[in-house]
Amino acid sequence: MAGEPIDDAIAALSNLLKEKAELGTVAAAKIKQLTAELEAAGSSPFNPDERIRTGFDHFKKEKFEKNPDLYGNLAGGQSPKFMVFACSDSRVCPSHVLDFQPGEAFVVRNIANMVPPYEKTKYAGTGAAIEYAVLHLKVENIVVIGHSRCGGIKGLMSIPDDGTTASDFIEQWVQICNPARSKVKGGAGDSSFPDQCTTCEKEAVNVSLGNLLTYPFVREAVVSKKLALKGAHYDFVNGSFDLWDLDFKVTPSVSLV
């Protein structure tokens, strides 16, 4: 079964590891992953239809049919208390991480959980979602959740200083949070690139929170205390979750004369 290509590949890897022993751990993890994938593929090829069918059947039997009151109410309408911005990353769905149940959270997911500033001519998708959530659903909280090892943030931090980009859309999108990148690069000192990315993941959440306030209906709801803005960071490497508030208020005026 082992032909020449596989022998050559293994020989090349062995030679590389002789020169760079520090790559051993990474190589071992990747080989383990590959072995698992090949085992799984060998036993039964991935069938997407079967996968979603199984998922739906489980949902119907274990959740829908066991909670008729809840699902009956939801069929009539939704009144979530939360709007959530989360990353599209497959590992950070808020339904898992914060155990949101159906009806609880109106969720927008995009690359690096970004909120672009108010802008009438582009990124209407975000504006539409915020407008619907704040003015129609009247959510009480908007939470922007960043996360560890975010590919979008890493992409942002990897854009060269001269601004040249290699992608059609990704880099243009992530540059929404350029202020976060500038802040982190400015104060980086000796920190490693991964540490800078972690800091940027959190700073980018703050940029998005600030951008939320550029939407007049958000600002009004926050000032009248009908809406709270929160930032969060889910670290799936260490299993931790940070949550913070954006404090924004207008104090009563004081007469100076």
Partner 1 sequence: MVGSLVHWDTSWRTVLPTNSSSVVSSRTRPCPKFMNWARIDGCHAAASFKEKQPENKGIDVGNMAEAGGNHDLFGLMKQRFLTFKNHTYMKELEHFQALSKAQYPKFMVIACADSRVCPSNILGFQPGEAFMIRNIANLVPLMKNGPSECNAALEFAVTTLEVENILVIGHSSCAGIENLMKIQDVESRSFIHKWVTNGNVAKLRTKAATAHLSFSQQCRFCEKESINQSLLNMLSYPWIEDKVRRGLLSLHGGYYNFSSCTFEKWTLDFNGCTVNEENNSYVIKEEEFWS
Residues of span 73-112 touching partner 1 by CB under 8 A: 74-75, 78, 80-82, 88-93, 95-111
Closest CA to 196 of 183, 178, 211: 183
Q: Which residues of 99-115 are buried (b: 16+ CB within 10 A; e: fewer)?
A: ebeeebbbbbebbbbbb
CA angle (104, 107, 112) in 5-degree steps: 140
Choices 11-19, 144-152, 219-227, 249-257 (CB under 8 A): range interacting with partner 1? 144-152
Q: How far is CA 235 from the centre of its chain?
A: 11
Q: In angstroms, what is the minimal distance from the CB of 213 to partner 1?
A: 11
Residue 164 binds to partner 1 (criterion: CB under 8 A): no
Q: Which one of 8-16, 70-78, 179-187, 188-196 is the stretch in contact with partner 1 (CB under 8 A)?
A: 70-78
According to CB under 8 A, which one of 11, 12, 124, 223 is a site residue for partner 1? 124
- Structure-block tokens of residue 220: 């009004």
SS3 229: strand
Nearer to partner 1, 99 or 190 (CB): 99
Of 195, 191, 180, 192, nearest to 113 by C-alpha is: 180
Segment interacting with partner 1, rule: CB under 8 A, options 15-23, 125-133, 191-199, 219-227: 125-133
Q: What stretch of H or E contains 186?
A: helix 178-186
Interface with partner 1 (CB under 8 A), residue total 95
Site string for partner 1, 4-23 (x = CB under 8 A): --------------------
Upper half-sphere CA count for residue 124 (Cβ side, 13 Å): 3
Under rule CB under 8 A, which residues in 179-238 are in contact with partner 1? 206, 209-210, 228, 231, 235-238
- Select from 5-13, 15-23, 44-52, 156-164 the region that touches partner 1 (CB under 8 A): 44-52
In three-state secondary structure terms, 139 is: coil
Kindly state the smallest distance separating residue 92's Cβ from partner 1, in Å. Answer: 8
What gap in Å lies between CA 18 and CA 235, rounded to an integer? 34
- In the complex, the smallest distance separating the C-beta of residue 90 from partner 1, rounded to whole angstroms, is 4
DSSP assignment letter at 98: T
Distance CA 237, CA 79 (A): 33
Measured from the CB atom, the residue of 11 and 128 that comes closer to partner 1 is 128
Among residues 17, 170, 183, 219, which is the contact residue for partner 1, using CB under 8 A? 170
Q: Residue 107: which of 126, 84, 130 has the closest Cα?
A: 84
For partner 1, the closer of residues 15 and 214 by Cβ is: 214
Of residues 14, 15, 35, 167, which one binds partner 1 by CB under 8 A?
167
